[in-house]
Amino acid sequence: MQFTRRDTLVMGAGAAVATFMPLQVFADATEDVSAEFAMGEAITDGGVELTAPEIAENGNTVPISVNAPGAVAVLILATGNPSPKVIGFNFGPRAGGQTASTRCRLAGTQDVVALAKMADGSVKRASATVKVTIGGCGG
């Protein structure tokens, strides 16, 4: 009996085939989207908390959450996806907290970035590397 390549990859995770795609191609797109969001403000690291798994259990649905106290808007980017924008959240003045979570599909191992715009217009950034793996063979 023959297996298709997808079945054999041994080991599951459809997204893994793209693991070694040169992700640099998408870096420009990430920069463009970030600049647009920052509206000319400098982006500084820290002040926003991004939670993502170190290794994705399923690259097709990766849980991401962000906690950005004081933010009016948050943008989540998957820097290695062909289209890096994942989702944006806006928080009104009466929001009880500035936390949000979502799931996204990742084309391969890459950095996920959260940008948070504060009330004064300044922009904070957090980043986490999420590994997308074929899996199996462990233990």
Partner 1 sequence: MISRRDFLQASVAASAIYGASGVGNWARLAAQQALTQEDLLSFNKTGNVTIIHITDIHAQLKPVYFREPEVNLGVGDATGLPPHVTGKDFVDMFGLTPGSPEAYALTYTDFSALAKGYGKMGGMDRCATVINAIRADRPDALLLDGGDTWQGSYTAQMTKGQDMVNVMNLLKPEAMTFHWEFTLGSERVREILADVSYDGLGQNIYDKEWEEPSEDFKPYEFYESGGVKVAVIGQAFPYMPIANPGWMFPEYAFGIRDQHMQEMVEEVRAMGAELVVCLSHNGFDVDRSMASKVSGIDVILTAHTHDALPEPVLVGDTMLIASGSNGKFITRLDLDVQNGQIMGFAHKLIPIFSDVIEPDAEMAKLIDEQRAPYEAELSEVLGTTDSELYRRGNFNGTWDDLICDALISERDADIALSPGFRWGPSLIPGDDITREDLFNCTGMNYPNTYRSEMTGETIKLILEDVADNLFNPDPYYQQGGDMVRVGGMGYHIDVSKPQGERLTEMTMLKTGEKIEADKTYIVSGWASVAEGGAPGEPIWDVVENHIKKQGTISLEPNNSVVVTGV
Binding site for partner 1 (CB under 8 A): 1-3, 5, 7-12, 16-17, 19-20, 51, 53-58, 63, 65, 101, 109, 129, 131, 133-139
Shortest reach from residue 56's CB to partner 1, in Å = 8
Shortest reach from residue 23's CB to partner 1, in Å = 11
Of the pair 122, 131, the CB lying nearest partner 1 is at 131
Name the residue with tokens 């420009």: 28
Of the pair 32, 103, the CB lying nearest partner 1 is at 103
Helix/strand/coil for 67:
strand
Shortest reach from residue 9's CB to partner 1, in Å = 7
Q: What tokens appear for 82 in the block? A: 């062909």
Of the pair 22, 92, the CB lying nearest partner 1 is at 22
* 68: phi then psi, degrees, rounded to nearest 5: -130, 80
Beta strands in 23-118 (DSSP E): 43-45, 49-51, 62-67, 71-78, 85-90, 99-104, 110-118
Q: What is the C-alpha separation between 122 and 116, in angstroms, rounded? A: 8
Of the pair 42, 137, the CB lying nearest partner 1 is at 137
